[in-house]
Structure 1
């Protein structure tokens, strides 16, 4: 099941080259491949390297490198209003400066360089390998090239578009950034090729589970297009309808393929060993970890190192977004009652809240087997995230639980949101196809147009709410606020936590409370978002020095 973890050493030498801060430089001395690129095995080994760049639980260390890139994939939520860490960070408090170097920039160009290398050289295997096989691994490479460019343009906007490997003398090292519209066109071309040439998830089966399938390419295309379609719509540039139509069509193609389905087990188990592998058809793209503690290749300590120790804790804002089982929000539902004890927060709520937040009685850790209340010294909000929590993993600090990167649930909410933003409406039939299937597994009443009108609900907001709760703790919220152009409204708000249950939290020094007895974690005055500057990230200063044709983003 986890064969991709067994990376072939020769492929690392072929593709890794030498780490560099420069865009896509490939020193000729770093590669010696006159006898490589001869067989399917060579192509597969080369492609395996690309998978080391999939988002991890924690920081990114590409295989074949001794240094760790400070690309944090597991804690994006602390940049948003969904989570808070042990202290403020320089994104949510607005204090960051343009960096000299940025691994989010460098690592993605390293990935693009490796993908370009395969795309250029795969044809050498034609003597011994069928064209369909060559096309398959070129398709994998083109998927990852699209993946790298999406990560770049999402953060920085216009960046250099490099579609071939470069050496120290290449003129392309000094090209200006390409317009984001051109980059998205190239991303779509790469993903279309991948969708045409890659096997289905069924064909990959258990033996090749984890490799990119044709529906993975389509599902990722839907994600990309939704981002740019809504961003261009709400930031007022480009061609929103074009991208939204791409998102609708790509998501619908995944739905119609019948290759994927929502997981039939519990929502919580999606982030446990029970939810791994092809038997969970909700998985479309995953980051795989070690096979077992006795057969370790790579593991993580996300539960103990990020959740239990307080590096990422859910907020009241996230908690309040979960509906009551009658389908109404906390400010409208007659089921709401002021909490008296901590478990009251979960009564009559969407059950996905109980699967995402720790509550009294849940298994916790070796030194405290059963959870009662979050310790405020670590979990500053008085809440604790639960996805991926596992007592055995806490003890060993070597979890092999995979990280879902793209799930079928995301495809459903993408289809609903793109359709609504494209047309300004959504039918009850399409709500049943998408949003209501997710609500059903949370035990929440159906959403219909009549229900929304009767209860004074905004349909767009309810679709966005569904996305927020379904994908909570998975790193989406910050980027959603960016594309909706609501970051300037939501991010400067104060961070509040759980209701302060004095009998359960006990005497806590220096805890600050609001007038209505909620934990005040961070005041609004310590949270900044500059709408002129912060919707794009700053380009690394060293990259501008290396390429004078690059222009720094506005305000940085």
Structure 2
């Protein structure tokens, strides 16, 4: 049997939390029953569900983020291109009427997500129909599958407040939307089952699969969006205190920059990750976002804004006064004085990079180009900065080597921030302040306890800086219902740098050239028209 399976399946040496890779839809070639005749075959089937994790994250090679890191729709990040694909973020913020139920610009993920939910339900139907394993083995398989179903519904609910719930394989396409409360009940129940039946650690031959800690961390994230504060607090505290043989499973990495390495390389901050591995599977993040000087006419798709740079504090605490750079000056910006998270996340003119200095000035090796001057930037920055977070500095030639750094889906710092926000909303001020202090202690920043609105402001600020460019900020602004205030009728900025001899001139420039828009309807994205045509029990979301 195993020999036959090897011939049929495409097997790759990857770990997303597991060992082998399965073509996601092999049942046109092999009887369903065969997947349940031994655990090796079932594992191969289950592995296909693990591939869903990175496609919603920053490294995924899918429609969900092709040309669209969602920070590009906020004050954090500026996409330099206005061409199709690479310029999706600019299309959305400048021309939101282009986002329709037919033209989602990457924001609506309904159809593909439901295809995946069906795959999960098919797997669980197979457990019920064919599996003859002991109950504990069946429960572990179901727990992993239900984790992924919860993850998929979380992604849908992040975008659309009410969805269609499928607990099993439907007999008809016609099923109504469920209430928002029922939707979050469903996610909570799936995650609760996963938490109950997943181990704290897997045996060595199963290393990398979804664990109890990952399910608890996902519960803290999902319940934060659902505003079920007690559930967030409970799950977050369990993650933080989770032990195995008396030793804590997860700890903040002493180095912020090292917090994005793999758990399996010693980074105990990583709770849930997708592991890449040369020669495959790999990704192209460096090719898309590295400074233009790394590979001529390539990279630099999106650049941090001056607004984001100014969110970082001095290494000694408190923000510098940037007013001198809101005009035109030859004074060097205070980059060297900023805290560690800035240096781990942003490349600036003169920063050390791969044995050289970044040259983000006009005519420099990396270069600068005004936004709107040409459809694509060809590796040049439009803000004076480049992303550093996620880039692999060890790749000497990105033109010949693809990227293999892991996608960290959940790390412990997020869990602390989830805990802080939940405790703030529960009136547990001391616990909220302690969580923020823990985050800031890692980068040696001072912290004074806050209360009331000042505490909530501090939580928002720490989420923005600690989780910068990790895919949270746009969704945070939406769930806090402040996106229409912070992202509407605004423009963001950069520093245009010119060099004359050895003197640099820094000029504060508008990198948008027109006002951004965030319409009210963007708080609840639409259902694709084709899906409504196939389901007579649903109608379009309000305002769409």
Query: If the TM-score is normalised by the length of the shorter chain, which range does it land in?
Result: 0.7 to 0.9
Partner residue in 1 for 2:306? 316
Matched, 1:121 2:126: yes
Partner residue in 1 for 2:70? 76
Checking the alignment, whether the CA contact within 8 Å between 2:273 and 2:406 is kept in structure 1 is yes
Partner residue in 2 for 1:544? 532
Counterpart-to-counterpart distance in 1, 2:283 and 2:158: 26
303 and 495 in structure 1: CA distance in 2 versus 1, 3 angstrom threshold: farther
- 1:363-404 residue CA offsets vs partner (Å, 9 max, x unmatched): 546xx9431326222221111110122341624341111111
Checking the alignment, whether the CA contact within 8 Å between 2:252 and 2:442 is kept in structure 1 is no
Matched, 1:299 2:282: yes
Give the secondary structure class of the aligned counterpart of 2:271. Answer: strand
Partner residue in 2 for 1:527? 516
Partner residue in 1 for 2:47? 48
Partner residue in 2 for 1:444? 445
Counterpart-to-counterpart distance in 2, 1:224 and 1:100: 28
Counterpart-to-counterpart distance in 2, 1:267 and 1:431: 20
Counterpart-to-counterpart distance in 2, 1:11 and 1:498: 44
Counterpart-to-counterpart distance in 2, 1:399 and 1:481: 31
Out of 17, 26, 31, the position equivalent to 1:13 is: 26
389 and 39 in structure 1: CA distance in 2 versus 1, 3 angstrom threshold: same
Partner residue in 1 for 2:6? none
1:271-286 matched pairs, under 5 angstroms: 271-272=260-261, 275-277=262-264, 279-286=266-273
Checking the alignment, whether the CA contact within 8 Å between 2:34 and 2:41 is kept in structure 1 is no
Matched, 1:184 2:184: yes
Bigger mean CA deviation after superposition, 341-350 or 305-314: 341-350
1:322-333 matched pairs, under 5 angstroms: 322-330=312-320
Counterpart-to-counterpart distance in 2, 1:84 and 1:152: 25
Partner residue in 2 for 1:175? 175
502 and 162 in structure 1: CA distance in 2 versus 1, 3 angstrom threshold: same
Q: CA deviation at 1:6?
A: 5.2
1:429-508 matched pairs, under 5 angstroms: 430-432=432-434, 434-449=435-450, 458-503=454-499
TM-score relative to the length of structure 2: 0.82
Partner residue in 2 for 1:111? 116
- 1:77-102 residue CA offsets vs partner (Å, 9 max, x unmatched): 11222111023523222232324376
Out of 213, 219, 233, the position equivalent to 1:248 is: 233
Checking the alignment, whether the CA contact within 8 Å between 1:228 and 1:483 is kept in structure 2 is no
Q: CA deviation at 1:447?
A: 3.0
Q: CA deviation at 1:319?
A: 1.4
Counterpart-to-counterpart distance in 1, 2:126 and 2:67: 31
Q: CA deviation at 1:252?
A: 1.1
Q: CA deviation at 1:345?
A: 3.2
Partner residue in 2 for 1:233? none
Counterpart-to-counterpart distance in 2, 1:440 and 1:446: 8
Matched, 1:426 2:399: no
Counterpart-to-counterpart distance in 2, 1:3 and 1:390: 19
Aligned residues, how many?
487
Give the secondary structure class of the aligned counterpart of 1:446. Answer: coil
Checking the alignment, whether the CA contact within 8 Å between 1:206 and 1:277 is kept in structure 2 is no
1:313-392 matched pairs, under 5 angstroms: 313-330=303-320, 338=324, 344-364=333-353, 369-373=356-360, 375-377=367-369, 378-391=380-393, 392=395
Counterpart-to-counterpart distance in 2, 1:347 and 1:71: 32
Counterpart-to-counterpart distance in 2, 1:463 and 1:205: 38
Partner residue in 1 for 2:221? 223
58 and 262 in structure 1: CA distance in 2 versus 1, 3 angstrom threshold: closer
Counterpart-to-counterpart distance in 1, 2:21 and 2:188: 30
Checking the alignment, whether the CA contact within 8 Å between 1:198 and 1:212 is kept in structure 2 is yes
Q: CA deviation at 1:353?
A: 0.6
Counterpart-to-counterpart distance in 2, 1:447 and 1:435: 10
1:131-170 matched pairs, under 5 angstroms: 131-166=135-170, 170=171
Consecutive unaligned residues of structure 2, counting only runs of 5 or more, are: 1-12, 83-88, 243-247, 292-298, 361-365, 370-379
Counterpart-to-counterpart distance in 2, 1:303 and 1:330: 31
Give the secondary structure class of the aligned counterpart of 2:387. Answer: coil
Counterpart-to-counterpart distance in 1, 2:118 and 2:507: 53
Counterpart-to-counterpart distance in 1, 2:345 and 2:433: 24
TM-score relative to the length of structure 1: 0.80
Consecutive unaligned residues of structure 1, counting only runs of 5 or more, are: 15-28, 62-67, 230-242
Counterpart-to-counterpart distance in 2, 1:504 and 1:269: 37
Q: CA deviation at 1:306?
A: 3.0
346 and 134 in structure 1: CA distance in 2 versus 1, 3 angstrom threshold: same
Counterpart-to-counterpart distance in 2, 1:151 and 1:85: 23
Checking the alignment, whether the CA contact within 8 Å between 1:160 and 1:175 is kept in structure 2 is yes
Give the secondary structure class of the aligned counterpart of 2:533. Answer: helix
Checking the alignment, whether the CA contact within 8 Å between 1:435 and 1:447 is kept in structure 2 is no
Q: CA deviation at 1:115?
A: 1.2
Q: CA deviation at 1:504?
A: 7.7
Checking the alignment, whether the CA contact within 8 Å between 1:37 and 1:122 is kept in structure 2 is yes
Bigger mean CA deviation after superposition, 398-407 or 336-345: 336-345
Q: CA deviation at 1:268?
A: 1.8
362 and 207 in structure 1: CA distance in 2 versus 1, 3 angstrom threshold: farther
Q: CA deviation at 1:529?
A: 1.1
Partner residue in 1 for 2:193? 193
Q: CA deviation at 1:131?
A: 1.8
Bigger mean CA deviation after superposition, 209-218 or 69-78: 69-78
70 and 148 in structure 1: CA distance in 2 versus 1, 3 angstrom threshold: closer
Partner residue in 1 for 2:294? none
